[in-house]
Structure 1
Amino acid sequence: MVQYKKPGVYIQEKNAFPDTFVPAPTSVPVFIGYTQFAKSGTTDLTNIPKKISSFAEYEQCFGGDAPMTVTQGATPDQITCTSPFLMHRGMRLFYGNGGDTCYIISVGSYVDKDLNPLLPDKTALIDALHSLVKTPEPTMVVTPDTALMTLAEWGDVAKAVLAHCANQQDRIAILDLVNGTQKFGLPDAIDPVRDFHETVGEIGLDYGTAYYPWVNTSLAELDDITFLQLSDDFKKSLQKDVLAEAKDQTPHNAMLEELANYITNVRSLPRAKSAHTALIQASTTYKDTMKKVLAAVNVMPPSTAMAGIINFTDTTVGPWNAPVDTSINFVLSPTVDMTSGEQQTLNTPLNGKAVNAIRSFMDRGVLVWGARTLDGNSQNWRYISVRRMVILVKRWVRTACEPFVFAANDAQTWTTLKAIIENFLTSLWKLGAFSGGTAKEAFSVEVGLGSTMTSDDIQNGYLKITVLLANTHPAEFITLTFTQEMQKP
């Protein structure tokens, strides 16, 4: 109590409102993978979580795309891009779909110290998770490069990421399917969904989500590639076809014949770009083939795009809104078309490991058409929005409680904490985060002796708070009933 020593006027200020706290970001992904380099100035960023906010900043710290080789199979249409690294193109998809602030963990370069090409190493990707334990801000974990690994290696990384998310309890894993360009359910063929179910494991499923199929994007254009990306055999085959085109023309096209020789002889990028531009203008054969090459280069798994969509959804609405019925920027089509009946197999498998579909709809384009976690049989954690909403509340309530760790465990502290949490939850309810016509129907907060704690709890230093939430759920199944009424006289 203030001791007044002399006569006079004294003023006391009293707080009229409960304490509050600044909400933490809800949609900050961390991308783990390989980059061209990893440095900020002279600082090596390898295996260090680096926070960035733009694609330009990514390229400044981590460089450009990995070298890629495009091969041709037994038929002219069997064209495949064999680059094992997807981080750079994945970041373009992320920022192209509303992405903002994120973290990057580079686990290494595309080549070793002798400039020999490398392949993604599962151990390096798993070890990178250790540095995330003390990095509290990320709420999503994405590993783009794993989509091109063997199924067994992918499974080891996926299990580690799910276990990490379950242990941290404040983030989710966004997974891709290996061989996601293949149609599922075909007998005697590669089945990416079946392989996913058998390999992803059983731990942390309510902290993970997955999307299928891969998508055909428009990230690269014809000017972004050249014949330098083609394998030696592919170059020879293309050169032969262009020479045949030159000979078939009347009169004989000597200029095109000369340009065709560049395909196997030019090695420098500037000369290759110049010859590539000239060949596109002069040769229909070359242009058509390079369009197919471009299509192969532009095939991407969808996890990085989904991270951007979730980021955008959180910013415009909130994490309580399911990231679904949303178009995907820079995507032309899914690599596999599916019907509603086929999607049912993805949404409601017997094992509960639901996979969210990316589908193409007439007059609407390519849409995300699923909002489930991998724990599809759970009534509690079936939906991504519910899991992420609870993560949001847990993170913010924990932040609110931290200043009271050493406060007296008495009624005044309980009342203060209850007011802070209720104030926060009320603001979310007004935004539509919870169901219920009133705040009392939407949530409740209980704390106190005889309510959430016993005398022994208080003596042992435990302050227990119970928060009940009426989360909103996606209206996945809308039933329309039509009844004809008899004509009235």
Structure 2
Amino acid sequence: MGEYKTPGVYIKEKNAFPNSIVEAETAIPVFIGLTEKALNGTDSLDFKPMKISSITEYTKYFGGAPAPQFILSVINDADADKTLSVYDATINGGLKATLKSKLCTLYYNMVMFFANGGGTCYVISIGNYEKNLSDVYTDKSKETIFSNIKKVQDITMLVVPEAVNVDTCMNIYTDLLNLCDSKKYFVLLDIPLKKGNKIIDKPIETFREAIGTNNISYAAAYYPWLETSVLSDNDITGKTLTWDIENFNPDTFSLAPFYNVDSDVYKFIKDALSAIKKGTKTVLDKDGKTPQEVPLTKNELSQMENDLHNALMQNWPEYQLLAKKVKDYLNLLPPSAAMAGIYTMVDNTRGVWKAPANVSVNYVNKPSEVIDNKTQEEMNVPMDGKAVNAIRSFVGEGIKVWGARTLNGNSLDWRYINVRRTMTFLEESVKNAARAYVFEPNDANTWINMKCMIENFLRSVWKRGGLAGASPEDAYEVHVGLGDTMTAEDILEGIMRITVLVAISHPAEFIEITFQQQMQKS
């Protein structure tokens, strides 16, 4: 306040407390994929991050689950891929389901995210269920997506669970890792099982060869895929399993060798398919005399398809078995979305410094592959260091995440997920708070203020177990000042240098307990 000239009472307020550091978010993932719609009222949400916190909010903005459609056909030879086929060698006949619609799984993965502890997240829709991910994920759209992600400060994790459904999966992963140049994000990756229609013989080795080495300390991969319980038997309907109605010909239609043309089952199916293809029903006019053909409504057509489906489920064992295989096929999901939920849950209950491992996975019947100790040895400690974390089933304990390594397993600094993410948390928190001191005088007063601010923040983290040490002095150090971290030339050039040393807690990955007999003492 300037010089007083008028008599009276003047009030001055002085700050009693120094600036404090607001903790950065650690577990706010963004999911990128295909959705039924992308609307906020009448505003399009295409390629825009939308913040949600429940599956209800997801359906509000992005619609519901996809309606996958499989075309049924009778086969006379065993199919090489038994995933979607049933074959009875005694009669040389079987049933096969061929996916006709696009494979869109983001909705199912979002269910897994929230079921495993997920909370606030962002969703970016890059297309609807009529599109292929590889067609809409282009160089141009990629720039838009990543630009929009960078505009949202609290996004910390990147997840694209549908990437494994396309041949360009590894290119998408490489782009996500390149985005980690900002040292802000952590990427959750899945192991592709197929390329096109061909099953990959050694998926983990193929993944390691293709992923490269750029920013791999900012990523973690999990294996195997999960046989989930997202879809139930009731989700497989007459719309899911359908015959090729467009090419249906009642004169040539055959169910041999299951049913001959004189069987009641054959006649029932043939008549039902004929009615569905016809798409009309006979009604009488107002006088009740002249019959007319009117189109079936959408609900009526759907009811006819479901009636046929329910009848076949009760009377045709092979059809019933194939329906179960279709459900299992749709329920087989990569683990990244579930892991994003687990990361969120662990961060909220224990802190980012707790490894997201030795935690049960919900909505999972079993892992798609049994991982034993011998198999995990090579997954966890490979020669190239690109560790893949296992999800295993233990008797009496259930299904657990049994690994806590980044893809940079050979680095003693960044081997563990919680160490990498804790350091990112500390860096982002201090960085955001330090913005308030840009253009402040580069003198002792500013240095002391910043040092105290950072030390107070680190002390609070240490008290909660985020830093290792019996005392604060053992857990962290903050250095700033002329002759310590800066030279006179630095000050002339407008540079303030601060050095922060932290001892981050490492997980006890291997616990060795030694037992030895001793002589009786009394």
Alignment TM-score, normalising by the size of structure 1: 0.87
Matches within 5 A, 1:67-78: 67-70=67-70, 74=79, 77-78=82-83
| 1:345 matches 2:378 | yes
- Tell me the residue number matched to 2:27: 27
1:142 maps to 2:156: no
Matches of 1:59 and 1:384 in 2, distance apart? 32
Alignment of 1:335-484 (within 5 A): 335-484=368-517
Deviation at 1:403, TM superposition (A): 1.0
Secondary structure of the equivalent of 1:406?
coil
Structure 1 pair 255–479 and aligned structure 2 pair: CA distance change class (3 A): same
Q: Does 1:160 align with 2:160?
A: no
After superposition, the Cα gap between the structure-2 partners of 1:398 and 1:289, relative to the gap in structure 1 and judged at 3 Å, is: same
Q: Is the 8 A contact 2:33 2:133 kept in 1?
A: no
Once the two structures are TM-superposed, the CA of residue 450 in structure 1 deviates from its matched residue by 1.1
User: Does the C-alpha gap of structure 1 residues 260 and 455 become closer, same or farther in structure 2, counting only changes over 3 Å?
Assistant: farther
Structure 1 2/297 Cα, relative in aligned 2: closer, same or farther at 3 Å?
same
Which residue of structure 2 lines up, in the alignment, with residue 133 of structure 1?
Answer: 150
- In the alignment, is residue 173 of structure 1 matched against residue 187 of structure 2? yes
Change (3 A) 1:5 1:14: same
Cα separation, 2, equivalents of 1:45 and 1:376: 38
In the alignment, which residue of structure 2 is the partner of 1:201?
212
Does structure 2 retain, via aligned residues, the 8 Å contact 1:223–1:277?
A: no
Superposition deviation, residue 164 in structure 1: 0.5
Between the aligned partners of 2:98 and 2:428, the Cα distance in structure 1 is 42
- Post-superposition shift, 1:145? 1.4
Return 5+ residue gaps in structure 1 as ranges: 182-187
Q: Distance in 2 between matches of 1:424 and 1:139?
A: 20
Deviation at 1:8? 7.8
Which structure would you say has the larger Rg? 2
Corresponding letter in the other structure for 1:105 = I
Distance 2:340 2:425 in 1: 16
Which residue of the partner structure matches residue 42 of structure 2? 42
Counterpart-to-counterpart distance in 2, 1:45 and 1:85: 18
2:406 corresponds to which letter in structure 1?
T
**Alpha-carbon distance change, 257 to 77 in structure 1, aligned in 2, over 3 angstroms:** farther
- The answer to whether the 8 A contact 1:93-1:308 is kept is yes
Query: Alignment partner of 1:157: what SS?
Result: helix
Task: Give the conservation status (yes or no) of the 8 Å contact 2:22–2:433.
Answer: no
The aligned counterpart of 1:327 is 360
Match of 1:184 in 2: none
1:69-148 equivalences in 2 (<5 Å): 69-70=69-70, 74=79, 77-79=82-84, 82=99, 83-111=102-130, 120-123=135-138, 126-127=142-143, 128-148=145-165
Residue 53 in structure 1 maps to residue 63 in structure 2 = no
Kindly state the Cα deviation for residue 487 of structure 1 after the two structures are TM-superposed. Answer: 4.8
What code does the residue aligned with 2:46 have? T
Q: Do the aligned partners of 1:256 and 1:282 also contact (CA within 8 Å) in 2?
A: no
Quote the offset at 1:448 in angstroms. Answer: 1.1
Question: 1:230: Cα distance to partner?
Answer: 3.3
User: Is 1:64 the equivalent of 2:64?
Assistant: yes
- DSSP 3-state at the match of 1:327: coil
Question: Given residue 62 of structure 1, which amino acid in structure 2 is its aligned partner?
Answer: F
CA 282–356 in structure 1, closer or farther in 2 if over 3 Å, else same: same
Aligned pairs, number? 470
Equivalent of 1:258, from 252, 268, 285? 268
Contact 1:243 1:256 (8 Å CA) reproduced: no
Contact (CA 8 Å) 1:126, 1:157: kept in 2 or not? no
Task: Give deviations 1:192-224, integer Å, cap 9, x for gaps.
Answer: 001001100110111111101101000000111
Segment drifting more, 421-430 vs 7-16:
7-16
Give the TM-score of the pair, scaled to structure 2.
0.82
Q: Which is worse superposed, 212-221 or 6-15?
A: 6-15
Instruction: Measure how far apart 1:242 and its partner are.
Output: 11
Q: How far off is 1:173 after superposition? A: 0.8
- Structure 2: where are the runs of 5+ without partners? 73-77, 85-96, 249-253, 278-300
Name the SS for the 2:138 alignment partner. helix
Aligned 8 A contact 2:406 2:414 in 1: yes
Q: For 1:444, what is the secondary structure of its paired residue?
A: strand
How far, CA to CA, are the matches of 1:95 and 1:477 in structure 2?
31
Distance between the aligned counterparts of 2:109 and 2:394, measured in 1?
24
Whether 1:192 aligns to 2:207 is no
**Alignment check: 8 A CA contact 1:126 1:161 kept:** no
Shift of 1:486: 4.0
Task: State the Cα distance separating 1:136 from its structure 2 match.
Answer: 2.2
- Provide the secondary structure at the position in 1 that maps to 2:123: strand
SS at 1:228's partner residue?
Answer: coil
Q: CA deviation at 1:9?
A: 7.4
Shift of 1:133: 2.4
Pick the aligned partner of 2:241 from 206, 230, 237: 230
User: Please, what is the CA RMSD of the aligned residues?
Assistant: 3.2
Distance 2:166 2:518 in 1: 60
State the shift of 1:270 in Å: 3.6
- Which amino acid in 2 is paired with 1:368? V
Distance 2:363 2:242 in 1: 27
Any conservation in 2 of the 1:216–1:295 contact (CA below 8 Å)?
A: yes
Tell whether the 8 Å contact from 2:259 to 2:266 is kept in structure 1 after alignment.
Answer: no
**Kept in 1: contact 2:26–2:352 (CA 8 A):** yes
Aligned residue identity for 1:145: E
Q: Identity over aligned residues, as a percent?
A: 39
- Superimposed CA distance per residue, residues 163-196 of structure 1 (whole angstroms, 9 cap, x where no aligned partner): 111x121111111111089xxxxxx971000100
Name the residue aligned to 1:295. Answer: 328
Tell me the secondary structure at the aligned position of residue 415 of structure 2.
coil
Quote how far apart the aligned CAs of 1:240 are. Answer: 4.2
Contact 1:428–1:434 (Cα < 8 Å) also in 2: yes
State the Cα distance separating 1:65 from its structure 2 match: 2.8
Q: Which moved more, 1:12-21 or 1:380-389?
A: 12-21
